[in-house]
């Protein structure tokens, strides 16, 4: 498999920082519930797209398009500007934290480890239907290694 494209439905979610709770005399770290739920959704979408294929190997390129919900408080004038592409989202979620949640969730499913990703392109835009569109592609170096 040289390329894989799939969509993760719903509002993109940033990977939350670990939380800590005291249990008896010990402190336990845990991942926030919202992060766990989103990573599970990513795993389901990625697994379905892989259709039982083995994880990709070698260097990979990642293209990620994050479509975030247009805020309900947006005025009609601003909504028209957003739909025309004149406004881009500069509010949360942060691109790097969403990227981390998605790449971590794809470990062992789409690729063996997210360390294989050598090129990343991420774009965040407004949309009426929030989602994340993912494309993972074997880089030219990986294709040349297979041909040799």
For the chain, the domains span 3-147
Residue 30: pLDDT band (50, 70, 90) is: confident
Contact 4, 136 (CB under 8 A): yes
Q: For residues 104 and 145, what is the distance between their CA atoms, to the nearest angstrom?
A: 26
Q: Is the pLDDT reported for residue 1 higher than 80?
A: no
**Using an 8 Å Cβ cutoff, are 134 and 62 in contact?**
yes
**Strands across the sheet with 3-9, in order?**
3-9, 131-138, 60-69, 117-127
What whole-number percentage of the chain has pLDDT above 70? 94
The helix or strand, by DSSP H or E, that contains position 21, with its residue range, turns out to be: strand 19-23
CATH of 3-147, one of 1.10.240.10, 3.10.580.10, 3.30.1330.70, 2.60.120.460: 3.30.1330.70
Cβ(126)–Cβ(70) below 8 Å: yes
pLDDT at 18: 76
Q: What is the pLDDT of residue 146?
A: 56
The residue length of the chain stands at 148
**pLDDT grade, residue 7 (50/70/90)?**
very high
Q: pLDDT > 90: what percent of the chain? A: 66
Mean pLDDT confidence for 91-120: 95
């Amino acid at each position: 498999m040289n390329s894989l494209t799939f969509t993760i439905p719903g509002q993109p979610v940033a990977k939350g920082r670990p939380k800590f709770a005291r249990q008896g005399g010990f402190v336990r770290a845990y991942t926030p519930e919202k992060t766990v739920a989103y990573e599970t959704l990513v795993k389901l979408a990625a697994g379905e797209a892989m259709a039982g294929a083995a994880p990709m190997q070698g260097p990979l390129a990642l293209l990620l398009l994050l479509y975030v919900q247009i805020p309900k408080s947006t005025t009609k004038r601003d909504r028209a500007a957003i739909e025309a592409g004149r406004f881009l989202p500069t509010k949360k979620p942060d691109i790097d934290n969403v990227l981390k949640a998605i790449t971590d969730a794809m470990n062992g499913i789409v690729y063996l480890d997210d360390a294989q990703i050598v090129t990343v392109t991420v774009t965040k835009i407004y949309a009426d239907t929030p989602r994340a569109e993912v494309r993972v592609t074997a880089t030219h170096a990986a294709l040349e290694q297979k041909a040799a």
